[in-house]
Amino acid sequence: MSTHQSFMQRHQFLIRRLHSLTGILPIGVFLIAHLVTNSSLAWGWFALKGRGGAEGLSVSEGGVQYFAHEVTYLNTQVPHLFLIEVTLWAAIAFHSILGFYYAMGGQGNLPHYKHQDNFRYTLQRLSGYFGIAFIFYHVATLRWGWSFLVPNGTEWSHHWSASTLAAALQGSSEGWTAMGVVVSLFYFLGVSLLVFHFANGLWTAAITWGLTVSEHAQKRWGYVCAAVGVGLMLASWGALAGAMTVDYDEAQAIEASIQGSHEVPAEQLDVHTQNDGHTLQTAEADPEG
């Protein structure tokens, strides 16, 4: 009988641990940071109020102002942003390819044994498949500028982060459209499945690394992972709710003021996007900030 083993079989111990590790670092850490930033559309006013900067602003306006400041900082002040993105994409590619490999070789028994663990195993695989498609669409439309995949061709810009995000999800700068509803539902399903995939992956990662050996330890860690999942789910839904309720023109006015306070060169503010014939106007710097 042949004893020849494939590369994957010979290095299974290391590769499985690297697979679980990349799901936490950097992918999981980025997911948490991304959802916290985006959900500030819902809670940003309260953060401003704590600093004494929410006077005269509604909850929605405060969320837009806080979110816009954060996105501007991340895209203009964070050092080595390109290197961070390359590292993240390499981790996603590694984790996804191995995930497909393991999923194709796994055998689910859900039809015969409908226990909780089997449901989680099946949903982990399905959420991984859907999550990759969702991540690709999200990045392609809101980072790479593939506006042909967005209703009415909205092109997202970090200079106009809240208003263009709202237009992309609502379907136009004039309000909701049928395709906007479709995109928003796709986002709701995508972010929900990604959060589940991460939270459930945290639980299985502890088993992979031998950190939760006993059933009791796995149960206690399961409570922690469930709490993380609930918190991130609320953040993701808050982010979507915030973007779906943003008033486009109101957000534009706030963003124009912020760009003036950051003294962004005029040529960088000349951002145009077509939505039902509506074109973004170039912002003029406000010397008063």
- Number of domains the chain is built from: 1
Task: Report yes or no on 287 lying in a domain.
Answer: no
> Which range among 51-65, 245-259, 261-275 shows the weakest confidence by mean pLDDT?
261-275
How many percent of the chain have pLDDT more than 90? 76
Render pLDDT for 173-208 as a digit per residue (tens, 0 to 9): 999 999 999 999 999 999 999 999 999 999 999 999
Q: Is the predicted pLDDT of residue 69 greater than 50, yes or no? A: yes
Q: Residue 75 belongs to a domain with what CATH number?
A: 1.20.1300
The answer to whether the CB of 121 falls within 8 A of the CB of 112 is no
The number of angstroms, rounded, from the C-alpha of 99 to the middle of its chain's C-alpha atoms is 19
Task: Report yes or no on 30 lying in a domain.
Answer: yes
Task: Report yes or no on 285 lying in a domain.
Answer: no
How many angstroms separate the CA atoms of 197 and 12, rounded? 22
- Residue 214 CA: distances (Å) to CA of 20, 46, 227: 19, 42, 20
Rounded to 10 deg, the angle between the 215-244 and 178-208 helix axes is 160
The DSSP line for 225-255 is HHHHHHHHHHHHHHHHHHHHT--HHHHHHHH
Compute φ and ψ for 279, nearest 5 degrees. Answer: -120, 135
The range of the structural domain enclosing residue 42 comes to 12-107+119-279
> Which range among 122-131, 152-161, 277-286 shows the weakest confidence by mean pLDDT?
277-286
Task: Report yes or no on 289 lying in a domain.
Answer: no
Q: How many CB atoms neighbour CB 194 within 10 A?
A: 23
b/e sequence 30-64, b meaning 16+ C-beta within 10 Å: bbbebbbbbbbbbbbbeebeeeeebeebebbbbbb
Task: Report yes or no on 233 lying in a domain.
Answer: yes
pLDDT at 107: 52
Task: Report yes or no on 284 lying in a domain.
Answer: no
Structure tokens at 174: 């004039």
Confidence at 5, pLDDT banded by 50, 70, 90: confident
Task: Report yes or no on 166 lying in a domain.
Answer: yes
Task: Report yes or no on 288 lying in a domain.
Answer: no
Dihedral angle, C-alpha 82, 83, 89, 94, nearest 10 °: 170
How many angstroms separate the CA atoms of 204 and 76, rounded? 37
Compute φ and ψ for 275, nearest 5 degrees. Answer: -140, 100
How many angstroms separate the CA atoms of 158 and 132, rounded? 23
Render pLDDT for 126-157 as a digit per residue (tens, 0 to 9): 999 999 999 999 999 999 999 999 999 999 99
Render pLDDT for 202-258 as a digit per residue (tens, 0 to 9): 999 999 999 999 999 999 999 999 999 999 999 999 999 999 999 999 999 999 998
